[in-house]
């Protein structure tokens, strides 16, 4: 298979027991009455040069996790260890202000909505050039040249440098977002549903672009997505999240072909297969109900109310995320016993 | 596509043109669309955004937003009584179409909040809908509403009647909207991307529900989507639209295993195949949907087409060709290039901004110089 997991590479980012709990306040004095545990104790390693996809239904905490890594949010617990180019590790959760600036260059984000994420009152030069101006302290002709070069690289015409976002289509706007993320030569790019708002044909163009850029600039992607066919196409490893916790992590090939968590099986089974002849083939797994409320999750395994294999033990005992070998980790009491259906050919 | 006449046919769209008269110029959102909808089948309408899928659907119900209106064509609704009415000829605010909306033809949308009121309970909204069309008392209508909610899989349906929309999750809202659409037992349900905003898991249950309802109630479904996976899952027949015209219509199997139109093939190549072991670069369709003021001459797909034949495709608008397999395709590869009966459309007459807009919109990647010039010339 073309993309085997790069096990030999070193970790670029290590999340350890990462927590992001949002307080729920009530009343005039904003008394804290509870917490939404959007991310609740995530251990995850991102290797240098790989594409790690983070998947799950909406409300599972994927986006929050991504935003913690770029420090849009200040995590409420745990550590985000980032390996510098010299090999030393820094904990991004404790850094503040000026000491965080080097990481603001190295860890960038591409947002989902190409309409909402670009300031309509700024030109492309201002949007893409802002980080260059702030971090590299350049301006004038030099800045214009750098921005023009970036535009060319993402497939936009440099002549458009003084246009405003409204003059571009959705796919072109997403290219501007990619150029902005790449301006400072980052090492890690968080792509939060970067292609899900795009039409299929444009989506293919952006996916191809992301892959070219990864090879060219040796980028590492944390790809937050809910579309599993896109994940299947782009990722090396997959992490499945459910109500703030990881339920399964492993290489794409293993997770898609031999899922070990019932939630992963259900997600894979729900993807419509683009062939009418497969319509009645294979057993279908359908999840009932909705994602559990992260402010008030069920006891035991959070997934047990929706799980068709649930047993008594699942309601009382929370399964830890444990290693099954080959870097395949899963949080299910019965991972070894269950015979779960994956995707043929994955 | 099966059928041709009489009782097999529910709806026929013939030469439909719905244009939007904006200050900047005329946007030809639907520009001569033709396709039939067979009774009791599920027809999927696919294409990229801006191809006129939604406007076609809205034209059927005469709910096209201003400044758009139907300028030409017919939308023939065949009733069981063999009576045929032309929906396109009805006044958008008239009694005739209002009696059909919600009763004979119902519609569900991508965003449930756009068709449900945030300040009325679910129950009240469904009861109002039922009482508008059927002679029932409030109590009878309320019982029916509870039955409907139960039918679409909303737990504790009786209690949910008194819920407001904001109290329901996305999937539940979608179900409530479907319940409301079904309340008067429509013959045709138009579903405009009803699952696009949903998670795959929820999408799967909603698709199951629509399939089941379609079978049980013998309802005809017109399903608009851009997701070919969804099409493969539910369609009987498929209509592929591009720039306001129908590129290809066929049964679902040939659309996937023997697509004729280059646009249909290009759509297939641009989606990541789930479980595919080959992972080369995706073949994106080059360029993008042209600006509405700068529609190309001849076949509107020619600037992006792999099989572009210079001197023909950019000159002659392809006529509909019916293949032996039953596929109808509009492409000069399959005949009609002699220009017989074909009309040159979109010739001139656009606002002066068109050329400039085409330049601004020209994609960085696909459109090389001469193509961009082509587009400019069309304006």
A156, closest residue in chain B (CA to CA)? B364
ipTM: 0.80
Q: Is residue A293 part of a domain?
A: no
Chain B contact set for A242 (CB, 8 A):
none
Taking only the tens place, the pLDDT of each residue in B114-147 is 788 999 999 999 999 999 999 999 999 999 999 9
Name the pLDDT band for A3 (thresholds 50, 70, 90).
Answer: very low
First vs last C-alpha separation in chain B = 36
Q: Which of A66, A37, A68, A38 is nearest to A52 (CA)?
A: A66
- Residue A266 has its nearest CB partner, among B201, B283, B365, at B201
DSSP strand pairing (A11-26 vs A31-47) = antiparallel
Quickly tell me which residue has 């797994």 as its tokens.
A285
Name the pLDDT band for B338 (thresholds 50, 70, 90).
Answer: low
Chain A contact set for B268 (CB, 8 A):
274
- Ramachandran class of A296: left when φ > 0, alpha when ψ lies in -120 to 50, beta otherwise: beta
Q: Is residue A343 part of a domain?
A: no
Asked if A322 is an interface residue toward chain B (Cβ–Cβ < 8 A), one would say no
Quickly tell me which residue has 């031999």 as its tokens.
A258
Whether residue A229 and residue B273 make contact (CB cut-off 8 A), yes or no, is yes
Chain A contact set for B169 (CB, 8 A):
290
What is the Cα–Cα distance from B72 to B50, expressed in whole angstroms?
20
Query: 3-state DSSP call for residue B251?
Result: strand
DSSP B101: B
Q: What is the CA radius of gyration of chain B?
A: 22
Taking only the tens place, the pLDDT of each residue in A19-58 is 999 998 888 888 888 889 999 999 999 999 999 999 998 8
The reported pLDDT for the residue numbered B366 is: 35
Q: Is residue A89 part of a domain?
A: yes
Q: Is residue A262 part of a domain?
A: no
Q: How far is CA A345 from CA A167, A254, A256, A328, in A?
A: 42, 11, 9, 19
User: Taking CA A186 as the corner, what is the angle to CA A184 and CA A191, rounded to the nearest 5 degrees?
Assistant: 115
What is the Cα–Cα distance from A333 to A247, expressed in whole angstroms?
11
- Residue A346 has its nearest CB partner, among B229, B275, B281, at B275
User: Taking CA A226 as the corner, what is the angle to CA A224 and CA A231, rounded to the nearest 5 degrees?
Assistant: 70
Asked if B276 is an interface residue toward chain A (Cβ–Cβ < 8 A), one would say yes
CATH code, domain carrying A58: 3.40.50.300
Q: Is residue A57 part of a domain?
A: yes
What is the Cα–Cα distance from B78 to B48, expressed in whole angstroms?
29
What is the Cα–Cα distance from B291 to B328, expressed in whole angstroms?
26
Q: How many domains are contained in chain A?
A: 1
- Ramachandran class of A113: left when φ > 0, alpha when ψ lies in -120 to 50, beta otherwise: beta
Where is B146: in which H helix or E strand? helix B138-151
Asked if A287 is an interface residue toward chain B (Cβ–Cβ < 8 A), one would say yes
Q: Is residue A72 part of a domain?
A: yes
Q: Is residue A148 part of a domain?
A: no
Taking only the tens place, the pLDDT of each residue in A88-121 is 888 998 888 888 888 999 999 999 888 889 999 9
Q: How many CB atoms lie within 10 A of CB B139?
A: 9
Whether the Cβ atoms of residue B10 and residue B79 lie closer than 8 Å to each other:
no
DSSP A277: G
Distance from CA of A97 to the nearest CA of B (A): 37
Query: 3-state DSSP call for residue B139?
Result: helix
DSSP strand pairing (A220-224 vs A51-55) = parallel
Residue of B275, B361, B367, B369 to mutate when probing chain A, most A C-beta within 10 A:
B275
Whether residue A205 and residue B272 make contact (CB cut-off 8 A), yes or no, is no
Whether residue B288 and residue A201 make contact (CB cut-off 8 A), yes or no, is yes
Taking only the tens place, the pLDDT of each residue in A175-226 is 999 999 999 999 999 999 888 878 888 888 899 999 999 999 999 999 998 8
- Residue B285 has its nearest CB partner, among A2, A201, A269, at A201
Calculate mean pLDDT across residues B76-100.
91
Enumerate residues 6+ apart whose C-beta is below 8 A from B66. none
What is the Cα–Cα distance from A14 to B72, expressed in whole angstroms?
62
B287, closest residue in chain A (CA to CA)? A202
Neighbour order of strands in the sheet with B68-78: B25-38, B9-22, B68-78, B84-86
The least confident of A2-6, A94-98, B170-174, B272-276 is A2-6
Bridge partners of B220, per DSSP, are B188
Q: Which two tokens stand for residue A4?
A: 């085997």
Asked if A155 is an interface residue toward chain B (Cβ–Cβ < 8 A), one would say yes
Where is B26: in which H helix or E strand? strand B25-38
What domain range is A89 assigned to?
11-124+168-235
Asked if A211 is an interface residue toward chain B (Cβ–Cβ < 8 A), one would say yes
Asked if A280 is an interface residue toward chain B (Cβ–Cβ < 8 A), one would say no
Whether the Cβ atoms of residue B97 and residue B91 lie closer than 8 Å to each other:
yes
Taking only the tens place, the pLDDT of each residue in A227-261 is 888 899 999 999 999 999 999 999 999 999 999 99
Q: Which of B376, B206, B197, B195 is nearest to B295 (CA)?
A: B376
Q: Is residue A96 part of a domain?
A: yes
Q: Which two tokens stand for residue B326?
A: 């039953």
- Residue B229 has its nearest CB partner, among A58, A272, A277, at A272
What is the Cα–Cα distance from B271 to B264, expressed in whole angstroms?
12
Residue window 242-261, chain B: list those with CB within 8 Å of chain A.
252-253, 256-257
Where is B354: in which H helix or E strand? helix B354-361
């Amino acid at each position: 298979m073309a993309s085997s997991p790069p096990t030999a590479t070193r970790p670029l980012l290590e999340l350890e027991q990462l927590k992001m709990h949002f307080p729920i306040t009530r009343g005039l004095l904003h008394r804290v009455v509870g917490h939404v545990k959007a991310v609740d104790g995530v251990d995850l390693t991102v290797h240098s040069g790989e594409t790690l996809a983070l998947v799950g239904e909406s409300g599972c905490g994927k986006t929050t996790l991504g935003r913690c890594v770029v420090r849009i949010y200040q995590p409420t617990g745990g550590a985000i260890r980032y390996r510098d180019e010299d090999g030393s590790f820094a904990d991004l959760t404790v850094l503040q202000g000026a000491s965080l600036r080097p990481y603001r260059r190295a860890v960038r984000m591409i947002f989902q909505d190409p309409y909402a994420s670009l300031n309509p009152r700024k030109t492309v030069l201002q949007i893409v050039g802002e980080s260059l101006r702030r971090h590299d302290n350049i301006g004038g002709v030099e800045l214009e040249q750098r921005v023009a070069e970036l535009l060319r690289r993402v497939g936009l015409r440099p002549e458009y440098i003084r246009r405003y976002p409204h003059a571009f289509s959705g796919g072109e706007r997403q290219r501007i977002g990619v150029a902005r993320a790449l301006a400072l030569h980052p090492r890690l790019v968080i792509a939060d549903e970067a292609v899900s708002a795009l039409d299929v044909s444009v989506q293919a163009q952006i996916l191809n672009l992301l892959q070219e850029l990864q090879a060219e600039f040796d980028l590492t992607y944390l790809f937050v997505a809910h579309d599993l066919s896109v994940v299947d196409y782009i990722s090396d490893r997959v992490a499945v999240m459910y109500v703030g916790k990881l339920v399964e992590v492993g290489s794409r090939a293993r997770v898609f072909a031999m899922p070990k968590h019932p939630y992963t099986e259900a997600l894979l089974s729900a993807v419509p297969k683009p062939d009418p002849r497969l319509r009645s083939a294979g057993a279908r797994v359908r999840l009932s109900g909705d994602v559990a409320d992260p402010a008030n999750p069920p006891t035991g395994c959070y997934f047990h109310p929706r799980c068709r294999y649930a047993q008594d033990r699942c309601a009382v005992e929370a399964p830890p995320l444990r290693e099954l070998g080959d870097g395949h980790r899963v949080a299910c009491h019965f991972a070894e016993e269950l015979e779960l259906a994956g995707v043929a050919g994955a | 596509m099966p059928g041709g006449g009489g009782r097999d046919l529910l709806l026929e769209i013939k030469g439909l043109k719905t244009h939007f008269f904006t200050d900047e110029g005329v946007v030809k959102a639907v520009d001569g669309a033709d396709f039939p909808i067979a009774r009791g089948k599920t027809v999927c309408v696919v294409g990229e955004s801006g191809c006129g899928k939604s406007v076609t659907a809205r034209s059927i119900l005469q709910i096209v937003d201003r400044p758009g209106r139907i300028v030409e064509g017919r939308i023939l609704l065949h009733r069981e009584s063999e009576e045929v009415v032309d929906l396109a000829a009805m006044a958008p605010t008239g009694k005739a179409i209002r009696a059909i909306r919600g009763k004979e033809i119902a519609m569900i949308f991508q965003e449930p909040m756009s068709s449900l009121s945030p300040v009325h309970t679910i129950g009240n909204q469904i009861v109002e809908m039922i009482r508008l069309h059927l002679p029932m008392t409030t109590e009878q209508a309320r019982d029916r509403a509870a039955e409907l909610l139960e039918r679409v899989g909303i737990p504790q349906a009786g209690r949910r009647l008194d819920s407001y929309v904001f109290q329901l999750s996305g999937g539940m809202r979608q179900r409530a909207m479907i319940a409301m659409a079904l309340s008067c037992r429509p013959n045709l349900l138009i579903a405009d991307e009803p699952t696009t905003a949903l998670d795959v898991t929820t999408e799967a249950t909603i698709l199951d529900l629509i399939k089941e309802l379609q079978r049980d109630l013998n309802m005809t479904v017109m399903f608009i989507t851009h997701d070919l996976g969804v099409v493969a899952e539910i369609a009987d027949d498929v209509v592929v639209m591009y720039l306001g015209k129908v590129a290809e219509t066929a049964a679902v199997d040939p659309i996937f295993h023997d697509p004729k139109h280059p646009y249909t093939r290009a759509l297939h190549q641009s989606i990541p195949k789930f479980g595919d072991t080959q992972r080369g670069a995706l073949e994106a369709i080059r360029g993008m949907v042209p600006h509405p003021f700068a529609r190309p001459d001849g076949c509107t797909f020619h600037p992006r087409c792999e099989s572009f034949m210079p001197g023909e495709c950019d000159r002659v608008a392809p006529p509909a060709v019916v293949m032996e397999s039953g596929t109808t395709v509009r492409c000069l590869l399959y005949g009609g290039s002699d220009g017989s009966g074909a009309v040159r459309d979109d010739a001139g007459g656009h606002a002066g901004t068109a050329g400039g807009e085409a330049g601004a919109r020209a994609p960085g990647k696909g459109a090389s110089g001469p193509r961009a010039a082509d587009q400019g010339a069309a304006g």
